[in-house]
Structure 1
Amino acid sequence: MTVHLKQEIEKLYEEDYVLWLEQTAEQIRHKDIDNLDWQHLLEEIEDLGKSQKNAVESYLRQLLKHLLLYQYWTQERDYSGDGWAEEIDNFRNELEILLDSKTLYNYAASILEAIYQKARRSAFNKTKLDIFPAECPYTLEQVLDIDYLPE
Structure 2
Amino acid sequence: MSVIDLKAIEQLYEDDYTLWLEKTANILRTGDLSQLDIIHLVEELETLGSEQRRKVESYLRQLLKHLLLYQYWSLPECKNHWAMEIENFRAELKRLLRSRTLYNYLISVKDEVYTEAVRQAKKKSELKCFPETCPYTIEQILDLDFYPELN
How does the TM-score come out when normalised to structure 2? 0.95
In structure 1, C-alpha distance between the alignment counterparts of 2:2 and 2:122, rounded to whole Å: 58
In structure 2, C-alpha distance between the alignment counterparts of 1:92 and 1:48, rounded to whole Å: 21
Residue 37 of structure 1 pairs with residue 27 of structure 2: no
2:54 corresponding residue in structure 1: 54
In structure 1, C-alpha distance between the alignment counterparts of 2:145 and 2:77, rounded to whole Å: 21
1:144 corresponding residue in structure 2: 142
In structure 1, C-alpha distance between the alignment counterparts of 2:68 and 2:55, rounded to whole Å: 20
Q: State the superposition RMSD in angstroms.
A: 1.0
* 1:71 partner letter: Q
Q: Percentage identity across aligned positions?
A: 55
Shift of 1:6: 2.5
1:108 corresponding residue in structure 2: 106
Shift of 1:131: 0.7
In structure 2, C-alpha distance between the alignment counterparts of 1:6 and 1:26, rounded to whole Å: 14
Deviations 1:113-134 (A, max 9, x none): 1100000000011112211000
Structure 1's consecutive aligned runs of 4 or more residues displaced over 2 angstroms after TM superposition are none
In structure 1, C-alpha distance between the alignment counterparts of 2:35 and 2:11, rounded to whole Å: 14
Count, aligned residues? 149
* 1:8 partner letter: A
In structure 1, C-alpha distance between the alignment counterparts of 2:55 and 2:115, rounded to whole Å: 17
1:25 corresponding residue in structure 2: 25
1:10 corresponding residue in structure 2: 10
Unaligned runs of 5+ in 2: none
1:123 corresponding residue in structure 2: 121
Deviations 1:72-108 (A, max 9, x none): 112x2x0111000000000000000000000000000
In structure 1, C-alpha distance between the alignment counterparts of 2:55 and 2:26, rounded to whole Å: 28
2:63 corresponding residue in structure 1: 63
In structure 2, C-alpha distance between the alignment counterparts of 1:139 and 1:34, rounded to whole Å: 49
In structure 2, C-alpha distance between the alignment counterparts of 1:30 and 1:123, rounded to whole Å: 51
In structure 2, C-alpha distance between the alignment counterparts of 1:2 and 1:25, rounded to whole Å: 19
